[in-house]
């Protein structure tokens, strides 16, 4: 029952069936009222037919009157006969005992008679011809009326209920689809927007609707337009700033080289500090350009086979030198030769950023663990790269934010370790660009566990 479509459909359908059942129950609790009204209507109609039959018999003859009664039998699904004022049969078949008794009562009293039996209803009405003579129209019909559905045969009742269910179900289905279709369009567009497709819109004929759902679709599309404009402006700003910073940075490096040649040994510490800061700035600009490039593309620049087991071992070997300075180590566990398809440089950068981040925050003397395993979910094969450190971990509320650009849990610590807040953001964009996912969680026993999943392909031979 998680589907809104199914909920609305069932609620409408049940409502229609309950209304139908309420009507039937109401009739069943008041059968006398129902049959009394039906009796009054039938008596009034048959009195008119009796008068017509009497006039036709005298003016047009027995043959015309017989045709009139035959049509009455066919249309009204009854058995009717015409008697004279003495009770003698003029037109029709011989009466049954019950019909004859009702007719005799009318002949004797001169008053119409209506009698109900379990399955049949008998009616006798007086009609007067142009000559003033009286005639009696006697009818025998099935006991019916508005309550006829409950008196029908079992097969007829089943057929009627099936038709009612099918018709109500079709109407409820069409109504439910009309109500939920814009919501499904919005859901699909929202997923595409969240996946990075800023051009996703809930378009089509949904925008032409004049109800609240149509307004919701139009508001969503306006919001998506605004988000696309803002993000495009942000990306363009990052690209422009990054390129503009490269020129003064290059001039700064030239000036630094000249200053080293002219300055004495006493200025070396200050110049070394300037050089380190310039290198950090150059690295920051490079990461910004990389992030802008990843945000602006929809497909990886290359589609090459990549051995993930080789890739993680190379990354671990490079990160091991940095780990040694902190008396740490990097261990790789890759029993399977998993492979994927994409850009080797981008994938290496994604894994390297996660591993170096783990090396930076793991406790001194501890170990950063890298596991590469193959997993299968929903019939798909994935290669999972899990990187775990033994550091302080993160607050649960911050886990979903670590992949945002420039995000820092603790500014002071980031600056001390030289972090820019862009490494994990680049990893997230690169992994997502390859159709994968990346998640962070606090590992049991302490530390941060980052898992990167990529679509697996056949390993290279």
Of 4, 10, 22, nearest to 168 (Cα)?
10
The 8 Å CB, 24+ separation contacts for 106-115 are 106/136, 106/138, 107/83, 107/136, 110/134, 112/43, 112/47, 114/39, 114/42, 114/43
Whether the Cβ atoms of residue 297 and residue 239 lie closer than 8 Å to each other: no
Which is catalytic among the residues 49, 86, 134, 243? 243
The answer for 378, left when phi > 0, alpha when psi is -120 to 50, beta otherwise, is left
φ and ψ at residue 444, rounded to 5 degrees: -60, 130
Whether the Cβ atoms of residue 396 and residue 442 lie closer than 8 Å to each other: yes
Catalytic residue status for 434: no
Burial 194-224 (b: 16+ CB within 10 A, else e): eeeebebbbeeebbebeeebeebbeebbeeb
Of 102, 104, 131, nearest to 115 (Cα)?
102
Q: Residue 293, SS3?
A: helix
Provide the annotated active-site residues: 243
């Amino acid at each position: 029952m998680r589907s809104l479509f199914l909920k609305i459909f069932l609620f409408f359908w049940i409502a229609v069936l309950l209304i139908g059942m309420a009507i039937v129950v109401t009739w069943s609790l008041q059968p006398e009222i129902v049959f009394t009204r039906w009796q009054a209507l039938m008596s009034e109609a048959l009195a008119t037919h009796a008068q017509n039959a009497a006039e036709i018999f005298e003016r047009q003859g027995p043959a015309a009157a017989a045709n009139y009664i035959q049509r009455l039998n066919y249309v009204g699904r009854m058995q009717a006969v015409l008697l004279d004022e003495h009770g003698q049969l003029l037109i029709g078949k011989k009466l049954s005992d019950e019909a004859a008794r009702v007719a005799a009562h009318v002949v004797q009293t001169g008053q119409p008679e209506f009698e109900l039996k379990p399955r049949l209803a008998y009616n006798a009405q007086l009609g007067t011809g142009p000559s003033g003579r009286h005639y009696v129209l006697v009818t025998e019909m099935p006991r019916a009326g508005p309550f006829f559905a409950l008196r029908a045969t079992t097969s007829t009742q089943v057929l009627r209920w099936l038709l009612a269910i099918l018709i109500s179900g079709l109407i409820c289905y069409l109504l439910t689809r009309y109500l939920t279709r814009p919501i499904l369009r919005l859901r699909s567009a929202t997923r595409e927007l969240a996946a990075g497709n800023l051009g996703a819109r809930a378009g089509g004929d949904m925008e032409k609707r004049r109800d609240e759902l149509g307004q919701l679709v139009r508001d969503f599309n306006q919001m998506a337009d605004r988000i696309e404009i803002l993000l495009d402006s942000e990306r363009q700003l990052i690209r422009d700033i990054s390129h503009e910073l490269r020129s003064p940075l290059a001039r700064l490096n030239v000036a630094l080289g000249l200053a080293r040649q002219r300055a004495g040994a006493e200025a070396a510490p200050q110049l070394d500090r300037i050089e380190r800061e310039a290198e950090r700035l150059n690295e920051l600009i490079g990461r910004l350009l990389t992030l802008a490039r990843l945000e602006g593309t929809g497909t990886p620049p290359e589609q090459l086979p990549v051995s993930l087991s080789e890739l993680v071992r190379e990354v671990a070997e490079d990160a091991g030198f940095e780990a040694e300075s902190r008396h740490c180590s990097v261990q790789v566990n890759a029993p399977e030769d998993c492979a994927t398809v994409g850009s080797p440089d981008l994938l290496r950068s994604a894994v390297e950023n996660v591993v170096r981040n783990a090396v930076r925050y793991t406790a001194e003397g501890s170990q950063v663990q890298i596991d590469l395993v193959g997993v299968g979910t929903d019939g798909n094969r994935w290669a999972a790269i899990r990187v775990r450190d033994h550091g302080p971990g993160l607050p649960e509320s911050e886990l979903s934010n670590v992949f945002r650009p420039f995000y820092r849990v603790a500014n002071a610590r980031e600056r001390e370790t030289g972090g820019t807040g862009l490494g994990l953001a680049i990893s997230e964009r690169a992994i997502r660009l390859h159709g994968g996912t990346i998640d962070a969680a606090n590992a049991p026993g302490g530390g941060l566990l980052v898992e990167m999943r990529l679509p697996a392909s056949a390993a290279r031979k």
